[in-house]
Chain A
Amino acid sequence: MSSDTVAIKIDNVSKKFTLQYHRTLKQVAVAAAKGHKVRDTFLALDDVSFEVKQGEAIGLMGLNGSGKSTLLKLVQGVMRPDSGTVRTRGRIAGLIATGAGFHPQLSGRENIYLNAAVFGMSEAETRRKLDSIIDFADIGKHIDSEVGHYSSGMGARLGFAIAIHVDSDIFLADEVLAVGDKPFRQKCMAKIDEIRTSGRTLFYVSHSAASVARMCDRVIVLENGRMGFDGEPEAGIKYLHYDDGDDDPGNDESAMGADI
C-alpha cells in the first residue's frame, strides 16, 4: 500500500532524560552540600534515523524501556528531540501508552471535545462525530461521569474512539489495546485494518509478535534507545527472539487477542 511520499522523516534523533533525584529546593541544596548526585542523564533515544513512506504499517518493537513510547511522543510532537529532527506530513492522531491525555476531573463527554480540539477537530466536526465516538467507546452512562473514575479499559476505549475519528494521515497506536476486553480488541483490530487499507501511515507498538506479523509490513526494533533492526516483520520478530518461547501466544486468532 505504500507510496513514494515520505510521511515521517527521523534524522539522527536523540532524546536525553534527566533523572531528578531531588525535587524541592531544600532537598537539592542538602544533596549538593553533601556531595550527592542531584541529577543524572541518560539517552532514551540515541541517534535514531529512519524514514516512513505514506501507507506503510510499521511495527515498533523492543523490550520495556527501550524507547518506543518516547519515539512516538516525538513523532506526535508532545516532546521535542534534544538533537536531530523529526518531520511529519499531515495530521497525526493516536494513543500513546495506555490512557489518553484526559483531564481526570472532567466528564468523558467534555474530554471528547478537548481531546478532539487538540487533534485539530473543529467544534462542528466534533459535534457531528460525537454520537459515533460515544457509540464506539460503548461505555454506557459513564460517558457523563468523571474520567478520573474510569477503569483503565474504559479510558483506553474512549481514547481510541476519539483517535480513530480524527481524519488523520498518520495513526499512532501504542499498546492501545493492552487493557481492552476481547470484544473491544476485535473491534479495534478491525478499525486498525481499515486504517491500514485506506492508505494511511500506521505506527504500531506492541509486544505481541503475532499481531505485529499480521498488521505490519515493516518492523523496527529499538534496543536501549538505538535502532537494532529495521526490515521484514518475520526477521524482526526473530531478531527479538519473540518467535521461539513456548508461552508465546502463537498465531491462532483467539490467542493473539491475549496481548495485542
Chain B
Amino acid sequence: MTPDYASLPLVDPAGESGLVAVARKRYLLRLLVGRELNARYSGSFLGLLWSYFNPLTQLFIYWFVMGKVMGLGHRTEHFAIHVFVGLIGVHFFNETFNASTRSIVRNKAFVKKMALPLEMFPVSSVVVSLFNSAPAVLILSVVCLFAGWTPDWVGMASFLLAVAIMITVATGFGLIFSVANVLFRDIGQLVGILTNFVRFSVPMMYPFSKIAENFPNHIDTYLANPLANVILLMQRAFWVGTTSDPETVLHEDFPHHLMEHGLIALATGLVILVIGQVVFSQLVNKVPERV
C-alpha cells in the first residue's frame, strides 16, 4: 500500500503509450531484448559463435560464386566486400521487418493479459537485430583492415548516419506491420515477398555506377529509397577505403552529394517513423482483443 495514497492522482490505468513510454520503460525493454537474445543462442552448442559463422560463410559464398564462378567481380574492386557490406544492411532490414511484423502475435499470451505499451515489441525486435548485426560488422571491419582500409572520419559519420536511417525506417515499418499482422494474418506472407525485393533495390550485387549508366534519368527515384542510401553510406564507410584509388571510386560509384542524400533519407526515415506511430496508435486499441 502506498503511503499517502489519497494524494496520488486518479489516472487512466492503461498508462501512457507510444515510443516515449517505451523509452521510459527501459528496464522492461532490456528484459525483452535479453530474453530474445538468450533464446537465440543459449540452447545451441556453439552459442554466440554461430552469429560469426553465418556471415563468414555468406561472405565466402558471394566471393566464390559471384566473383569467381560468375565473374561479376571484374569491374568492381574487392567485389566480395562490396557485396558483404550490402548484405549486412539488407539482412538487418529483412530480419527486423520479419521479426517485428510477428512480434505482437508471437507475444500474444503477454499482450492479452498485461498492460504495457505495445510499441515495446516491434522496438525490441529492432534492438535485437542491432545486436545480431554487430558480429557481422566486426568481421567486416577486420576483413577491410586486411584489405588495406584505414578508418576515416567521413566514413565513420557515414556509417552512423546509415545506422540512424536504418533504425528509423525499420522501426516505422515494424510499428505499422506489427499491428497490421494482428488484424490481417496475411501480412506475414506479404512481408516475406516484400523482403525479396530489398536486396535488388540497393547497390550490393551491382555498383551504383550501373544505375547511373543504365538509368541516368531515374537516379533520383533510386535514391528516394532510404535503404539505397543506407547501403551507399555503408559502402562509403567501409568498401571505398579498401580500393586502390578511393578518389576515382568516390567519383564514379557514388552519387554526388552523398551526405546530403543521406540527410534527406534520414528525414524520410523520420517521416516513416511518425506515420508508423500514428498508424500504430490508431489501431492498437483493438489489438489485445484480436490477437
Contact = CB atoms under 8 A, between A and B. Distances in A.
Interface string A1-43: 0010110010000000110100111100000000000000000
A30 B194 CA distance: 25
Contacts, number: 113
Contacts of B1: 167, 169, 198-200
Contacts of B8: 89-90, 169
What bracket does the count of chain B residues touching chain A fall in?
Answer: 35 or more
B116 interface: yes
A73 B14 CA distance: 10
A77 B290 contact: no
Interface in A163-204: 167, 169, 198-200
B58 interface: no
Contacts of A24: 184-186
A91 B10 contact: no
Contacts of B5: 5, 54, 89-90, 169
Interface stretch (A106-114, A229-237, A239-247): A106-114
Contact of A89 (B10, B31, B32): B10
A92 interface: yes
Contacts of A85: 12
Contact of B39 (A76, A80, A86, A105): A105
B13 A103 contact: no
A6 B288 CA distance: 27
Interface in B2-24: 2, 5-6, 8-15
A88 interface: yes
Contacts of B115: 76-78, 92, 118
A5 B39 CA distance: 45
What bracket does the count of chain A residues touching chain B fall in?
Answer: 35 or more
A100 interface: yes
Contacts of A18: 286, 289-290
B153 to A, nearest CB: 38
A65 interface: no
A25 B28 CA distance: 34
Contacts of A122: 27
A167 B2 contact: yes
A118 B13 contact: no
A73 B290 CA distance: 14
B13 A104 contact: no
18 contacts: A3-B6, A6-B10, A23-B185, A75-B13, A76-B115, A79-B289, A86-B12, A87-B13, A97-B113, A101-B113, A105-B39, A110-B35, A117-B31, A118-B28, A167-B1, A167-B2, A169-B8, A198-B1
